[in-house]
Structure 1
Amino acid sequence: MNHPAEPPFDLDQLPTPQRLVAQALILGLDYLGARHPASWEHGRVAGLAASSLEPSSPGANKQAAKLTFGYPEVAHHRPAKEQVMFSAERLALTAEIRAAMRDDCAEGLPKGAQPTAEQWKAILSGSPTTLVTGGAGTGKTKTLLMRCVLLHRYLGVPINQIRILTFSREARMELASDLRALFAVFDVTLTSSDSLMIVKTARSTLLEQVHALPDLARAIPLEAFSGTDGDVASLPDGRPFEPGLNARQRDEMTKCLNQLYRSNKVFAEIYQELWASALRLPRLEVDAPEVVKRAPLGWKQSEVDTELCDSVEGLWRKAKAWPVDGITVGRRAFTLRGRTYSTHGYIPHLKAHVVLGFDRSEGRNLARNPTARMELYKEVAIKKSLFQAYFPECVIHLDSYEEATDLAAALKALGTTAPSFRYAPKGDDGQQPIIDSFNITASLLDALGLEVASVAGRMNFLPDDTDALYFEALDMYWQALERQLLSLPSPVIPFGRLFTLFSDQHPDNLRHLPSDVIGQCRHVLIDGAEDQTVPVAGWLRAVLYELRRRDANQPVTAGLLSTVTLAGDISQWIYGSFGTSPRMITEFDELFPSTVPATRSVLTECFRSSQQIVDAGHNLVRNLTTGAIRVTKSVRRVEAGEALPVQMYGDDPGKLKLLCEEAAKRGFKMLILINGPQDTQWVDGAVGDLIRQDRAGGGRKIRVRSYHKAKALEADVVVMVGDPSAGQSSWHRNQLFKLAGFSSGGDSTPGDTVQHGEALRLAYVAVSRTLVACHWFMTGSEEGTRTASALVTLLPGLFEDRR
């Protein structure tokens, strides 16, 4: 059914009278400029409905009368902070500059001394960050020196904006001499002071910055603190990792120890307990070879223990060494495994029993009685072993009259003076006076970048481990020492503290430095980067960040850029046990971030040694490196009969003497490397006369150095004496290295791992010093010890065993 139309109606649908009235109204609305609301809204709705059903025509957008728009809801964002320490600029190395330097090298350097393609890549690097790696003898140091020539001679960088950082004072002097000679080839004259302005150690460079601040202008590093208060600017670079104490240092440290001992009751109690542990007879396990051997005799000896005590005590009384002040005299019987043995006295203050030993001044043929089957000193030794293995309480075994006298003096002054004694944390080699031991451990902590005064709270020990007392005492003592040294007229500050104060942990401190002082590190080149400490890396990062910050605040930044060039070889990382780290090499991009990709050059051509020596060195360290390594190839011309493997000998001083005489006849220079004091004596006994004759004649044909000091040296003939050791496992050392971030890959014993690798790397460095021939004398190596030769399989053809 059709429905009638509903209003509004079209005009044609209206009757004539109504249509005329509607037309008149429309004309009226038009004349007045008005509109009928209902009609207008109806038309708008109909139009929108029609437009949604019909496709838009090409000109539809242009005909739109109005646009409907709004603002999107966007989350609040903060701008990112720039993390790179270098600008995006590169060195202005034009083709003309590159060609000019290459031409000058071809003209001024001998043919055999021309840089290789690998070396040129690093020398002519335009990147702010450049890393040069390669094995021993591949020319890393030469590459650094050539890059220094590029910066000054061809790019016009003032020498007071270039720093070559090396390891020690000796290396600095030698490198400065090489730099002067190289600059002369390029018609640049450097005075000795000029070259020493360029070549520095990290310590001496830091010290310049420290002294540029008025408050620290007279500051002296603890390591350089001596009895002469001369010009602080002339302080030596020092000998890193040789923490021996001079008289002034020892006096000041002892003074601090006694003041803290008297003023701090808690420290005094800890220190006395540590002293008692040092006096205590060292414990032995019941299955130790010494105990197993002596115990059967000791159990029988219990039947005559009273007579033994009488005999020993009689000797002490005769020598007027007993009784001892501070020790309560009196026998006390104890049962060990069902047998009875007696002590001679007791020290109440230390809660320690005392057993008298056999003084070496007495005759070795003395016996308990004429019918005794064994000498008295042997019976004393047997009883001592039993007490070491089975005695449950603290016992002090006095082995000499002098030892008893010293103990009496210490007990008498115990209320006012801290006892002096020797101590070594477990796993360390040899006991040291307690002051020296504190200093050595603090030096290690400084190198690792750990806070000496708080590290104890981050460690844990077994209940009976006395090293816990040691680190707790060190914690309290080092805080007091630093405060006391800082209060001196010329403040004394350990280098570790200075590096930390000017590191990326405290970047604001560098803002106080004058621009001409911090600008001396605008272009830094580091030799031996594998053996720099963690604080040195933090300091260098802070310096480069500060230079970037200052450059960014300049009205014109064009040409303001800094560079860092590192040269190193992780296979020559030989000071890891002293706290150095190869992170500058292994984490180069993370430590020195730059928007410009770093230049990396791997040097693979060895100019020093024959291929057999190169391969022998690689054989020692082949299991220490991870990832792919480019094999080093020898390019040295080798005379007939010189391409020999490493010759290995036993304890044969006559052979060493013969080698020295043969080397002297051929005019060869010799380098004898020693592993420890026992090797020093062995070498002196074998060729001491030849060495002294060489010195007397003004020659330096024979040099004797420790394995650790072999780096940067070379000789025609290298003689290795002794076998570098990985040392003992150390609970405390593993904890410290873990705290310092060395436990990559989840290594639970990073300290042991570092020492394991160091033994092999020391042997590698020694072998790789060789120009002609290398000889290895295995002296005094104990079977079963973790030495370099035992830690790796020595391949035949590279090592020839003549033992």
Structure 2
Amino acid sequence: MAQHTPDLPPELRPLAEMPWFKRLAARFLGHGLTQLRAQHRASWLHGQADGFRSGHTAGVDYGYKEGKADGLEEGRQVLLIRDSRNTEHRPPGIDNHLFDDWRLPLGAELKKRMKADVARLLPAHAQPSVAQWKMIFSDTPSTSVIAGAGAGKSTTLVLRILLLTHYLGFELDSMTVVTFTRESRRDFIKKLIELFALWGRALSQKDARDLVRTFHSRILPMVRSLPGFERLQAFENLSHRPQGGEEDVDSNPFDLRINDAQRQQLNACYHRLYKEDPRFAQLIQPLSRHALQLKELERDHPDVQKRVAVTELAARRDEELCDMIEDMWLRAGAWPIKGIEPSRQTFEINGASFHCHGYIPSLDAWVVLGFDPRENPQVCRPNAKLTVRAEWAVKRTLFQAFCRKPLIWLDNYESSKRLLATLAGDVSAGPGFDYKVKGELASAPLLDCFVAAAGFIENLGLDVPDAVGRMSFAKDDPDRFFFEALSLFWRALEDHLLDQKPPVMTYNRMFALFSEHSPENFKLLSDELLRPMSHLMIDEFQDVSPQIVSWIRASLSEIRSRGPSMHVGRGAQRSSLLCVGDDWQSIYGWRGSSPSYFMEFNKEFPSPRTTRVMLSDNYRSHQHIIDAAEHIVRAAPAIPGKKAKASGEERPLQPVNVLERDDQALGQRLAEHYRKGDSILMLYRKSSDKLLIEQHIQSVVNVDSSLPYESRRLKQLTYHSAKGLQADAVFLLGDCQHLTSSPYKNQVYRMAGLGKAGDSEPYDSAQKDEILRLAYVGITRAVSHCYWYVEPQDTQAVNMPRASDRVAKGKPFFVDHRPEKKTA
């Protein structure tokens, strides 16, 4: 086959494309002619073509090799001289982790040894699950454990402590286990001592108490280490009993009651500030007038509509009614009151004339005396059909709806004494009146309101005067005066408490001294004092507040900054954080707690590596109890992937019974369970409900209270107080409902960065979720039986969400016995 030769000159191509045998013959012939020195044109041309071809091929090969070599060399020279670095200036990154990048030294042999010991020393029902072992053996600097109701977290946490101390050689003084309340601390210490004994380790009460703390008992020694504060007392622990006992440094963060010793300090500060600060005294006047003034009632209120029809009749008997009530007050020694002019002014109510009893010039307000509840409720005027108490109630309603003059209605003799002290300028006894901040459910003494509002603001990690300065209220809103007065009072109170001997400080102030805003204060702490914060294990972490989070982060940051020198010669090295919680059981938002720190654990506590554990087994309740509670709470934001399953002893499935409130029926059913030998939790929402139910369960209460404490089977508690407890049968009295809107808490929530961006009412939104979580806590206290008695929908709160609205129809885990709602 002829070859294609594109590079030959045109005149040579015909020869080159001849068949090869012809070219071969021509070559032999040409060779002969060459010997004869003769020339044959065709052969010459063939030779020329072959030579061109072979020369071309050799030239191409040589040129390719030479060119490639030169190209590679030239390329190397270009790479050597080209500057391909990024010319943009970039500083090194910041390591914002709270921990070093390290691991617990947990080898396979150590794990095997501990598992064998646990199998040998603990009964079969107490053997850890796979998930619980993951928590025990977590080797990362930070660990978050999502532990639902009845998850058996306490035993697992004790085994974690055993791992650190018994198997890894960590010293007890390098660790702190934090529980939230005095009661949970006591129970955990008992379990800790019992399990340590099984491992042949005698743990004294003192050592156990040093290890297991509340946050409050850990911050107090830090502040006491500062010069001049060696004998510092916590305001929350003040009392008239001798100071210095261990209980004084271990308080319940959710106990808001103010005792006499605390009130004495509050009143003394108020007295001094009222005398020395004209602006403060000026602010108290509108507050007292507003607080004492009779609250208005809408004219379309059912009580008004019912009583307006008897206006004329009530007016005709009013003067006699005034005489009779005034006589009662005179006999009680409560009338007249200094500072009140006893002047019977006449008021027009819908064209009818009514009377008041006196006038207060300093407040420009009129006074009406009420019917003291200690008087006989059956007493009547001569020949009257209604009791004096009923007649007085009619008059009060009419005045609330139709009287627009400033009017003070004194409901009882005790309130008159407080008013007398106020009018006499005796502020040493305190303000002498109650106040109700918008959004709160009830009024309280003014200084109690100050303490509660300041506590909420500080729990969110904010400074009271600064936060107040960023609030805004309508011009005629009395809360505007309340918060300005609070700002002045709180600053004065902190100074007043520090002036005491020994000095006094609130716990919130202590946490603020060692927060992320004051890192320099940590430099004043010794290694020994800071070391117990190195390895923190915190239970009920969903109830932590921003104030506490800031203190924890600042402590861990300081420990890391001190480096290995802080742990020389010790078994425990570096630092770690293990938090156990359940965002579905976060129910203290009204005190400033937030589950967001647990839900966003990795972001809030940055760590090189984090272990996440989900404890989904419920060893307390059967599956119907679990499913009912989870169905209620699932509408609230939560950590994804949560679904508990009943484990351990199998029990008959009983649905949660939802019933319309009937206290007598509740009492009968409770007595039946008690006779069967069941343990019982009677949970209520309001203290008034407890009083109402008492008469219906009195026989059970009498029997149970006569038994030794450890044999008692009936406990009556609020929903909030029942967390951590359980009973065979649980009776829930009252719905979980968000009833009010809190303008000031919404503002403070936004300042603290809590809630969703753009939400103008972030606190109210959080509370609507919290009522669902509160119902979840109540239901999950039950082992076998749960009965939920709820009131019919209040017509005045028809738009307020209720947890019972989430009760599902047609589900096996609920039976709703309430009558069907009538539709229009």
Q: TM-score range by the shorter chain?
A: 0.7 to 0.9
The normalised TM-score by structure 2 is: 0.82
Aligned residue in 2 for 1:179: 192
Q: Which amino acid aligns with 1:775?
A: Y
Aligned residue in 1 for 2:25: none
Match of 1:485 among 480, 493, 497: 497
Aligned residue in 1 for 2:208: 195
Offset from partner CA, 1:190-243 (integer Å, 9 cap, x none):
222222222111111112322233432211111011223532665241122112
Which SS does the other structure have where 1:668 is aligned?
coil
Q: Which amino acid aligns with 1:523?
A: H
Aligned residue in 1 for 2:183: 170
Aligned residue in 2 for 1:120: 133
Structural mapping, 1:576-725, within 5 Å: 576-595=589-608, 597-626=609-638, 628-639=640-651, 642-652=652-662, 655-656=665-666, 659-660=669-670, 662-664=672-674, 666-698=676-708, 699-725=711-737
1:468 deviation in Å? 1.9
Aligned residue in 2 for 1:799: 814
Structural mapping, 1:201-220, within 5 Å: 201-220=214-233
1:749 deviation in Å? 2.2
Offset from partner CA, 1:631-653 (integer Å, 9 cap, x none):
211123324xx311123445555
2:434 is equivalent to residue 422 of structure 1 = yes
Q: Which amino acid aligns with 1:264?
A: D
1:364 deviation in Å? 6.5
Gaps (5+ residues) in structure 1?
Answer: 1-53
1:794 deviation in Å? 3.6
The 1-side partners of 2:116 and 2:245 are apart by 44
Structural mapping, 1:450-469, within 5 Å: 450-469=462-481
Distance 1:174 1:783, change over 3 A: farther
Distance 1:607 1:323, change over 3 A: closer
The 2-side partners of 1:728 and 1:532 are apart by 24
Which SS does the other structure have where 1:585 is aligned?
helix
The 2-side partners of 1:338 and 1:56 are apart by 118
Q: Please say if residues 312 and 357 of structure 1, whose CA atoms lie closer than 8 Å, have aligned partners that are also in contact.
A: no
2:97 is equivalent to residue 81 of structure 1 = no
The 1-side partners of 2:112 and 2:719 are apart by 42
The 2-side partners of 1:399 and 1:536 are apart by 42
Structural mapping, 1:512-531, within 5 Å: 512-531=524-543
1:159 deviation in Å? 1.2
Q: Please say if residues 312 and 358 of structure 1, whose CA atoms lie closer than 8 Å, have aligned partners that are also in contact.
A: no
Bigger Cα displacement from structure 2, 489-498 vs 311-320: 311-320
Aligned residue in 2 for 1:35: none
Aligned residue in 2 for 1:261: 274
Bigger Cα displacement from structure 2, 93-102 vs 398-407: 398-407
Q: Please say if residues 280 and 485 of structure 2, whose CA atoms lie closer than 8 Å, have aligned partners that are also in contact.
A: yes
Bigger Cα displacement from structure 2, 120-129 vs 785-794: 785-794
The 2-side partners of 1:68 and 1:92 are apart by 49
Aligned residue in 1 for 2:556: 544
Aligned residue in 1 for 2:61: none
Aligned residue in 2 for 1:137: 150
Aligned residue in 1 for 2:18: none
Bigger Cα displacement from structure 2, 685-694 vs 533-542: 685-694
Gaps (5+ residues) in structure 2?
Answer: 1-66, 819-824
1:79 deviation in Å? 4.1
2:290 is equivalent to residue 277 of structure 1 = yes
Q: Please say if residues 727 and 755 of structure 1, whose CA atoms lie closer than 8 Å, have aligned partners that are also in contact.
A: no
1:563 deviation in Å? 0.8
The 1-side partners of 2:485 and 2:463 are apart by 14
1:617 deviation in Å? 1.1
The 1-side partners of 2:368 and 2:695 are apart by 40
Distance 1:781 1:226, change over 3 A: farther
Match of 2:448 among 436, 441, 458: 436
Aligned residue in 1 for 2:58: none
Which SS does the other structure have where 2:552 is aligned?
helix
Which SS does the other structure have where 1:581 is aligned?
coil
The 2-side partners of 1:343 and 1:234 are apart by 52
Q: Please say if residues 526 and 565 of structure 1, whose CA atoms lie closer than 8 Å, have aligned partners that are also in contact.
A: yes
Match of 2:484 among 468, 472, 481: 472
Q: Which amino acid aligns with 1:487?
A: D
Aligned length: 740
Q: Please say if residues 445 and 579 of structure 1, whose CA atoms lie closer than 8 Å, have aligned partners that are also in contact.
A: yes
Q: Please say if residues 329 and 345 of structure 1, whose CA atoms lie closer than 8 Å, have aligned partners that are also in contact.
A: yes
Which SS does the other structure have where 1:561 is aligned?
coil
1:145 deviation in Å? 2.1
The 2-side partners of 1:687 and 1:383 are apart by 37
Structural mapping, 1:311-330, within 5 Å: 312=322, 316=326, 320=330, 324-328=337-341, 330=343
Identity of aligned residues (%): 33
The normalised TM-score by structure 1 is: 0.84
Bigger Cα displacement from structure 2, 348-357 vs 219-228: 348-357
1:662 deviation in Å? 4.7
1:603 deviation in Å? 1.5
2:295 is equivalent to residue 295 of structure 1 = no
1:572 deviation in Å? 0.5
Aligned residue in 1 for 2:4: none
Bigger Cα displacement from structure 2, 242-251 vs 185-194: 185-194
Q: RMSD of aligned C-alpha atoms?
A: 3.5
